[in-house]
Amino acid sequence: MRVCVIDGQGGGIGGVIIRRLKEEFGETVEVLALGTNAIATAQMMKAHANRGATGENAIIWTIQQADVIIGPIGIVLANAMMGEVTPAVAAAVASCPARKFLLPLTQENVEVVGVTHEPLPHQVDQIVKIRLKELMDNV
């Protein structure tokens, strides 16, 4: 299974996600770090992603082969992350056939109603231990 983790700015959220994926699944999943900037990609690579790439074209191209995409909800919002998520990236992620697990974390003026606000590690655990495990069991 190929999992693309997309993050921007400092790459902290993506780093947390990748560490948990590696703890839970080891090398049974291929984790690709896709950063909107080089710092984000570097942080995610430090978390032991299998491979990494940076920028609009790298994200748009790489997600075409993804089974799963994980990241903050801003990755489907044009101009999110202080403009780092280009409209082309947002459209490509939103229209990609891969399963998407989006964390309701955003600096934008967007609120997802009906979502409980939990700390990042709890949200990542829910993705890794419940959602992704269910998906893998059904493949």
| 35-74 tens-digit pLDDT | 999 999 999 999 999 999 999 999 999 999 999 999 999 9
User: Which option is the CATH number for 2-137: 2.60.40, 1.20.120, 3.40.50, 3.30.110?
Assistant: 3.40.50
| 109-134 tens-digit pLDDT | 888 888 888 888 899 999 998 888 88
Helix segments in the chain, DSSP class H: 12-25, 38-46, 56-62, 87-95, 120-125, 133-137
3-class SS of residue 126: helix
Nearest-10 Cα torsion for 40, 42, 43, 49 = 110
Domain regions of the chain by residue span: 2-137
**Structure token pair of residue 71:** 């990241």
DSSP bridge partners of 30: 2
